[in-house]
Chain A
Amino acid sequence: MCLVNQVRLATMDIINGFLDKNGHPFFTIEVYGYNSQVAVKVDVMMDTGFTGFLSLPLTYCFQSGLILLSTATYTLADGSSSNTLLCMGTIRVNNISNFTGAISVSFNNPMALIGMDFLNKINGKLMVDTRAKIANIEFPKTIPRPVITTTPTSTPKNRSGAAKAK
């Protein structure tokens, strides 16, 4: 394997998916709200016509412990508006990478959708192979940054000689 591909594989991750009978790309992700231990596995359709992060059916929202934050309005393909609830939640992919965003609660659509905001957040590249009926999203691996702590060498004191409250 050439060096360029080796470096690319070391720095990039891939979400593997498939095309359904209608040719729509599907991926499996995990979603959770207040705690990663209540993460729920969901098959989501990548909808490039959806500008949001994730639209999740109501029952999944409860199961995954999403935190309700706001009401909002969104627009549909025909130009009409509809209302929704927004929750803060996290999408986990490949058991490692976590991406937090505003999740829209879907009341009438049984299908979960991921949109362009998700793709932008992960800096992803969507690839669709209609011959092999597969779809992939390639994105840079998120490398946890080391936490650097510094221990103060002395505690600042005020005029009376007492230590400054932290």
Chain B
Amino acid sequence: MDNQVMLPQDVEKKGQEIYSRLKDSLEQENLGKFVTIDVISEVYFIGETLEEALLKAKEKYPNRVFHTVKIGSPGVFSQSSSFSNNGYNKWFS
């Protein structure tokens, strides 16, 4: 089953739940790497770079949308501008 019908915020919420369960073990050995999580199978893919993790996941599940985390960091990147994407939920709810 593919998850194109899941709202992005639901993918993110489920992805965060799965990551919280894996957090301790992932941070022990993979701090600073990226993990892309398939929220349906709960299979995760680790990459040295963001692209590597994403492409590994896409190769396994080409039609799914994943959730990605930088292990040990609050975000996959940081931005100095004050523009947030909090309208994201407004677009998809």
Interface residues, chain A, with chain B CB atoms under 8 Å away? 47-53, 55, 68-78, 80-86, 88, 100-102, 104-109, 113, 115, 117
Contact = CB atoms under 8 A, between A and B. Distances in A.
A55 B54 contact: no
Q: What is the interface of chain B mostly: helix, strand, loop, or mixed?
A: mixed
B84 interface: yes
B74 A83 contact: no
Interface residues of B, number: 35
B11 interface: yes
A139 to B, nearest CB: 18
B69 A113 contact: no
A82 B80 contact: no
Nearest to A85: B8
B23 interface: no
B67 A72 contact: yes
A55 to B, nearest CB: 7
